[in-house]
Structure 1
């Protein structure tokens, strides 16, 4: 074990990690029932009992402690209907974090508004309320915050900022299914919450999403925005269509399929147990990594009363790793363990997938080049110094956390043998 695996040496661990997504008997049963029902979409004829999509919407709202949930085809479409429901469009600005997946900006452009990119808090890697305050201008209509990796934004400060300036608050909870701030789950602190159920997420059907709210008017509008403008019949009858042509707003087809909802309904039953298992292993890993020089687990703010771990995240001091940065260290750890280690996202100002110039439809949005000029020192520092580990590894047996710590110690001990890899922008979804 004296040679690094990335250089051809033996691995610290080659025994594999829990597969993700994880299938349960209930998942299979729900899918087979859906297939046999011949109702695979909410645009199909109504059955005697509520469909999987309707039942998932209610169960997920109950899980979050909210009144309303609108399932969508994916997380991006959930963000789009949130923006459209708030009547955000051409000439408007939406403040977004500089460290996030590209959809935070692309969905704003999809409604012809301008994403205003601001820096993150160096402690949490979530959007910095002070940076938001400085970016508010006469065209600002909303703030889209992202609860990132294993953290929750400072919702108290952000809610107060939005209240004072009359701005809408959108919570992107794609990475935080079940996280809580001051005892209340995220997704209901803002005007609208948006969730992703993509392949890698804590709750997944391969693809899927949802928009959540406490506001009945926003719910009614979002329901139609994702259903081609159609609304739900108040008393649907078996054998008849339950989507009415009597809409109030022009929409698009962003509906979740019954098959996806069938999977999610079963997976939701497993989520609390899985979140508890991941949190316990994350605490074990915290204690192990705190013993290593130059390694520090990223901490949550004290108001986070339930922490979820989409990606376990720790910060390295490059000086303790022969001046190598997170992309190189993450690659070495992948080689040592076979686990999914990655650097955090590239800052939005240089994200390789944020290329508005490649689409003519965005040419009417003024000042788009401002995204490339955004000053994001903390986002840049996070990309250099922060390493993430996919949550599937946290579903392993508790003793496997020692494997992770051993791999980090080995890479640190032999860091002078590493060859720096170019920063390709590779990062998790």
Structure 2
């Protein structure tokens, strides 16, 4: 059996020195929050106060930044994905193709609209959905493809758009980890029928919690607007002061998945700094790519159409395939974490093995005979996702907001750990 890597006799590389903090409040963030606090409106459902809501303002700013016609803020990235799926007509019994390597929400949101997530394998270089695997997973029950831009890579949108168009499927772009990235000059999130974003605490644009859906299609935008506001939509004209601005149209039943005015104001303050921070991460990632490649590690690649890269996480592959007897990703990650005081961990487990994906744990997903069998994760064993989980490591983008010396520390920690003897017992 394997043992943990031997403890290095020298002091840790980092030895307690701190890493850059995250989140970083932007200039004006505190004033923006105070402005909402002392206003007469904390929610878009509050009575009309004579001026646009902060949510409206952020929606316009984010749509302009992305080059999208419509932006509908939501309470979370999960809410954005669920409303996007339903807006595209996904419902009970439909199949949705999702990448096997992703965060749990890629599958749980499909479950949440009573549909069936179908896992497809990932590209071994980008870790994003493999277009050939996606096409092979299409059946007569398939309604949509959800493509996830993972860690720092953009998926092959040319090929995936082709798959969706050939089979008449909706293409939903999960850009929760790709704020500001671009594909052939267009911002991530604007190349599918709908793009979704998360503004969770960990993301490169954050309000603690929050999300957004974007689209160029006015019909889809109106459906999402209803789905996230209990079936209500903003009135075509401003109402009288003190009256509700949301109208009960009766068009579509929804749920309350609205972004608060505090979160919207915070996002408006943070958005102008996004590109500057992304550029810092990008520059440090290029430096780190060179340093780690020199140690025999392989940094994550992105698809050829990428014209601007965003780093939610830095991901690197260990030389496990060349030396299967070497330490596992979990072992190396734990040792590098001890050297750096920075959480370096394996990439996501395959979704069908994730403890966060358990359809049988909730009765609401038992829709009838045979449905739970269609959801059974035991149906899958995808080699690309399995190999990735055992040989790739990642760490949070905040470390990339440091300087060249910080990148040298990361490389030195990997050098030390990979150079150690790793005991094996029969």
User: Equivalent residues in 2 for 1:250-329 (5 A)?
Assistant: 250-293=253-296, 295-318=297-320, 323-329=326-332
Query: Per the alignment, in what secondary structure is the counterpart of residue 335 of structure 2?
Result: helix
Query: Per the alignment, in what secondary structure is the counterpart of residue 19 of structure 2?
Result: coil
Whether the 8 Å contact between 2:116 and 2:375 is mirrored in structure 1 is: no
Give the Cα–Cα distance (whole angstroms) in 2 for the partners of residues 6 and 59 of structure 1. Answer: 51
Partner of 2:175: 173
Whether the 8 Å contact between 1:95 and 1:142 is mirrored in structure 2 is: yes
Question: What's the CA shift for 1:292?
Answer: 0.7
Partner of 1:215: 217
Give the Cα–Cα distance (whole angstroms) in 2 for the partners of residues 321 and 395 of structure 1. Answer: 33
Question: What's the CA shift for 1:331?
Answer: 1.2
Give the Cα–Cα distance (whole angstroms) in 1 for the partners of residues 226 and 66 of structure 2. Answer: 22
Give the Cα–Cα distance (whole angstroms) in 1 for the partners of residues 333 and 283 of structure 2. Answer: 23
2:41 counterpart of 1:10: no
Question: What's the CA shift for 1:196?
Answer: 0.6
Q: 1:394 aligns with which of 381, 394, 400?
A: 400
Q: Deviations over 1:41-78 (max 9, x none)?
A: 10112223212111111111111110001100001111
Query: Per the alignment, in what secondary structure is the counterpart of residue 86 of structure 2?
Result: helix
Q: Deviations over 1:1-28 (max 9, x none)?
A: xx98966852101211111111133111
Change (3 A) 1:193 1:69: same
Question: What's the CA shift for 1:370?
Answer: 4.2
Q: Deviations over 1:107-158 (max 9, x none)?
A: 1111111111111111110001001111111100100110001001100001
Partner of 2:350: 347
Q: Deviations over 1:210-237 (max 9, x none)?
A: 1110000000110011000001011214
Give the Cα–Cα distance (whole angstroms) in 2 for the partners of residues 20 and 391 of structure 1. Answer: 9
Give the Cα–Cα distance (whole angstroms) in 1 for the partners of residues 421 and 142 of structure 2. Answer: 46
Question: What's the CA shift for 1:375?
Answer: 2.8
Question: What's the CA shift for 1:320?
Answer: 5.8
Whether the 8 Å contact between 2:5 and 2:331 is mirrored in structure 1 is: no
Change (3 A) 1:78 1:5: farther
Query: Per the alignment, in what secondary structure is the counterpart of residue 422 of structure 2?
Result: helix
Give the Cα–Cα distance (whole angstroms) in 1 for the partners of residues 182 and 376 of structure 2. Answer: 34
Whether the 8 Å contact between 2:359 and 2:376 is mirrored in structure 1 is: no
Whether the 8 Å contact between 2:58 and 2:268 is mirrored in structure 1 is: yes
Q: Deviations over 1:161-197 (max 9, x none)?
A: 1111100000111111011111111111111111111
Q: Normalising to structure 1: TM-score of the pair?
A: 0.93
Whether the 8 Å contact between 2:176 and 2:199 is mirrored in structure 1 is: yes
Give the Cα–Cα distance (whole angstroms) in 2 for the partners of residues 193 and 7 of structure 1. Answer: 46
Query: Per the alignment, in what secondary structure is the counterpart of residue 399 of structure 1?
Result: helix
Whether the 8 Å contact between 1:321 and 1:412 is mirrored in structure 2 is: no
User: How many residues are treated as equivalent by the alignment?
Assistant: 416
Greater shift in the superposed pair: 18-27 or 149-158: 18-27
Q: Deviations over 1:265-324 (max 9, x none)?
A: 11111111000100000001011111113x111111221000101001110013669611
Query: Per the alignment, in what secondary structure is the counterpart of residue 313 of structure 1?
Result: strand
Partner of 1:423: none
Partner of 1:424: none
Q: Normalising to structure 2: TM-score of the pair?
A: 0.94
Whether the 8 Å contact between 1:119 and 1:376 is mirrored in structure 2 is: yes
List alignment gaps of at least 5 residues for structure 2: none
Partner of 2:74: 72
Change (3 A) 1:326 1:4: closer
Greater shift in the superposed pair: 365-374 or 108-117: 365-374
List alignment gaps of at least 5 residues for structure 1: 420-429
Give the Cα–Cα distance (whole angstroms) in 2 for the partners of residues 8 and 244 of structure 1. Answer: 68
Greater shift in the superposed pair: 198-207 or 369-378: 369-378
Partner of 2:151: 149
Partner of 1:404: 410
Give the Cα–Cα distance (whole angstroms) in 1 for the partners of residues 233 and 327 of structure 2. Answer: 55
Q: 1:236 aligns with which of 235, 238, 244?
A: 238
Question: What's the CA shift for 1:202?
Answer: 0.8
2:382 counterpart of 1:376: yes
Whether the 8 Å contact between 2:360 and 2:372 is mirrored in structure 1 is: no
